[in-house]
Amino acid sequence: MSRGVRGATTCTANDEKQMISNTKRLVEEMIEKNTIDPSDVSHVFISVTKDLTATFPAKALREIPGWTHVPVMCMAEIDVENSLSACIRIMMVVNTVKSQQEIKHIFHNEATKLRPDLIKGEMR
């Protein structure tokens, strides 16, 4: 069964090192909390808001051992008025036996505002 694992984080500046660091930290927690093996990942979509242009956040996944061959694509998030700025969103599609209710979606920094119902008191 394929399941989507969501994650999101924000940055305080349009800075390559911060974008890579925040993305890597987010993905590593997504992996840990959902016991994800890279061989079980179909693909990963990463979107960024228009104010983050310093780098491709997908570079962060290449720093994680075993993730070299996982297909990753970056894209622009739609520009919605009054939406969260400096935001990196991830949709990781994995093969798993877990139910949708067992998937742990991860939100860091200001992105915790996106889905407080999924965080359930686990503010980061």
> Residue 78: its pLDDT value, please?
95
pLDDT in tens, 77-108: 999 999 999 999 999 999 999 999 999 999 99
Q: 21-24, long-range: CB within 8 Å, 24+ apart, which pairs?
A: 21/60, 22/88, 22/108, 22/109, 23/57, 23/60, 23/61, 23/88, 23/90, 24/60, 24/61, 24/63, 24/64
Contact of 65 with 37, CB cutoff 8 Å: no
Q: Is residue 49 part of a domain?
A: yes
Q: Is residue 123 part of a domain?
A: no
> Residue 118: its pLDDT value, please?
75
* Domain region containing 43: 2-118
CATH number at residue 103: 3.30.1330.40
Q: How wide is the angle at C-alpha 88 spanned by C-alphas 3 and 11, nearest 5°?
A: 145
Q: Is the pLDDT of residue 121 over 90?
A: no
Alpha-helical segments (H) within the chain: 16-34, 116-119
Sort strands 2-10 and 106-107 into parallel, antiparallel or unpaired: parallel
> Residue 115: its pLDDT value, please?
85
Q: Is residue 97 part of a domain?
A: yes
Confidence tier at 123 by pLDDT (50, 70, 90): very low
pTM (2 d.p.) = 0.92
- Token code pair at residue 90: 């991830």
pLDDT in tens, 8-50: 999 999 999 999 999 999 999 999 999 999 999 999 999 999 9
Q: Is the pLDDT of residue 112 over 50?
A: yes
**Tally of domains in the chain:** 1
Residue set of the binding site: 6, 89
Q: Is residue 68 part of a domain?
A: yes
116 vs 80: CA distance, rounded Å: 19
Q: Is residue 82 part of a domain?
A: yes
Residue set of the binding site for prephenate: 6, 89
> Residue 120: its pLDDT value, please?
59
Which residue would you say has higher pLDDT here, 77 or 121?
77
CA distances (Å), origin 109, targets 17, 43, 98, 119:
16, 24, 26, 12
Q: Is residue 110 part of a domain?
A: yes
Q: Is residue 124 part of a domain?
A: no
